[in-house]
Amino acid sequence: MTTDSQITIAPVRKICCIGAGYVGGPTMAMIAKQCPDIQVKVVDINEARIAQWNSDTLPIYEPGLHDVVVESRGRNLHFTAEVDEAIAEADMIFISVNTPTKDFGVGAGRAANLEFIEKCARKIAEVSSGHKIVVEKSTLPVRTAEAVKAILSRASSGATFDVLSNPEFLAEGTAVEDLLAPDRVLIGGESEQAIQALVEIYANWVPRERLLTTNLWSSELSKLTANAFLAQRVSSINSISALCEATEADVDEVAMAIGTDSRIGPKFLKSSVGFGGSCFQKDILNLVYLCEFFGLPEVAEYWEQVVKMNDYQKQRFVHRIVRTLFNTVSDKKIAIWGFAFKKDTNDTRESAAIYICRDLLREKAKLCIYDPQVNPEQIRKDLAAVLKNGDSELSQASAQLLADNVEIVSDLKTASKDAHAIAVLTEWDEFATADFASIHDSMKKPAFIFDGRNVLKELPLAELGFEYHGIGFRR
């Protein structure tokens, strides 16, 4: 590793980002847009994904992203599978690869799988020369930089490195807005020069007071902590939603009432069918694992409760559907409105919909699924994976269930025709403006709606004949 006195770091001219995913693609497109003098190459071992980034149909759906990519692509933004070359010529290398929960061996089900991070560090060590700044963009357990530094410091070419932590806080569905005007950008490091090199890049569009610098470990740990606090708010309000249903309080009113307290604040208090997404559960479980690793079982247990409450919220929703539909959904058609983990994304990772559909299928319901952005193949893949339940193969019975009881359609009307109930699992805007009169006419009676997002709450659905159930209130 370097110290400030050993090397003078020149302004960054060439960036390489390893990992062209939900984070690598949008963050690099924003840097390229805001810094036309810097050449940015985004690389990935997944050639199909790179081809999509170079096409008109980007691999991820994110409002506003297409324009940002097209503005710089071919000018100073390039997507390529030539990984070694892009690393070798860069002054600064972002590592933005996936860090999923480990599903094997020590720490299975909790620890982060750092295999891809380590492979990146080894690749960088192998092909680099001169001096490079390596930036951890992926979300990592605190002290990962120690391992990254250890690998880099043994580069046989004699190359030298500074390692920074620069976690990403964008949320899917609002990635472009979040990148354009972040609440803060966090940079952790040891070398002041290296930190300043990255500060100067962000300073092209982010006000200086929002560029926070810390030590490496605080930066790594702040990312896990931010997600744990955000998810904790959702689990907290969801726990209160159960109490609201038992007491005739209304969770949205409670959220509004507590959210006006400036110490609590109004955001992330929307009760729902449960949080999903690739980050919250993974990062909390990782925090739980770290606490256990560092001998802090009480702290581990405290955070694990956030995930348990989220599981409970999903189960509660299914139980309510089954109970309300006269204790059986067997052979009944249920229209599933929305499969993505939130609106304005095509991402289904850890979506509550996956688990709710699984549990309804286990009750032998017939599901007809509609989502405006999620690819039908992805839905089938997710359901097959969850029905495997950890086994390597899908059992014949599960394969049959999937074939016989799951239909995926391209509009709300078809999804709802002849259905006994509608379950709203994603808060897509278009759902609130559906033609409920004709949807009601086409459904079996009584026609039920279970609104897992409370997005239809204000509509006069009872007047149309629906029996409407939301989260955290009773009518």
Ligand X SMILES: NC(=O)c1ccc[n+]([C@@H]2O[C@H](COP(=O)([O-])OP(=O)(O)OC[C@H]3O[C@@H](n4cnc5c(N)ncnc54)[C@H](O)[C@@H]3O)[C@@H](O)[C@H]2O)c1
Single-letter residue type at 243: L
Angle at 328 between CA 324 and CA 332, to 5 degrees: 100
| Structure tokens, 192 | 């002041």
388/410 Cα distance (integer angstroms): 26
Nearest to 406 by CA among 369, 374, 371: 369
279 has catalytic annotation: yes
Tell me the residue nearest to ligand X as measured from the CB: 21
Instruction: Name residue 368's beta-bridge partners.
Output: 335, 407
CB nearer to ligand UPG: pick between 259 and 465: 259
Q: In whole angstroms, how close is the CB of 373 to ligand UPG at the nearest point?
A: 14
Residue 337 touches which of ligand X, ligand UPG, none (CB < 5 to 8 A by kind)?
Answer: none
CA–centroid distance for 250 within its chain = 28
379/346 Cα distance (integer angstroms): 11
Residue 230 touches which of ligand UPG, ligand X, none (CB < 5 to 8 A by kind)?
Answer: ligand UPG
Interacting stretch for ligand UPG, rule CB under 6 A, among 100-108, 142-150, 201-209, 272-280?
272-280
The answer to the question of residue 312 lying near ligand UPG (CB under 6 A) is: no
Nearest to 406 by CA among 376, 386, 441: 376
Among residues 234, 401, 439, 471, the one that binds ligand UPG under rule CB under 6 A:
234
Q: Checking DSSP bridges between strand 160-165 and strand 421-424, what pairing results, if any?
A: unpaired
Q: In whole angstroms, how close is the CB of 224 to ligand X at the nearest point?
A: 10
Among candidate residues 17, 244, 279, 368, the one labeled active-site is 279
Among residues 17, 38, 170, 186, the one that binds ligand UPG under rule CB under 6 A:
170
The answer to the question of residue 168 lying near ligand UPG (CB under 6 A) is: yes
The answer to the question of residue 230 lying near ligand UPG (CB under 6 A) is: yes
Among residues 24, 26, 182, 277, the one that binds ligand UPG under rule CB under 6 A:
277
CB nearer to ligand X: pick between 29 and 325: 29
Residue 18 touches which of ligand UPG, ligand X, none (CB < 5 to 8 A by kind)?
Answer: ligand X
Nearest to 191 by CA among 161, 220, 211: 161
At 421, give phi and psi (nearest 5°). -155, 155
Site for ligand UPG in 125-144 (CB under 6 A): 139
**In angstroms, what CA-CA distances link 254 with 202, 249, 258, 260, 452?**
39, 8, 6, 10, 17
Q: Which residues are catalytic?
A: 279
Residues that bind ligand UPG (CB under 6 A): 139, 168-172, 227, 230, 234, 268-270, 272, 275-277, 279-280, 341-342
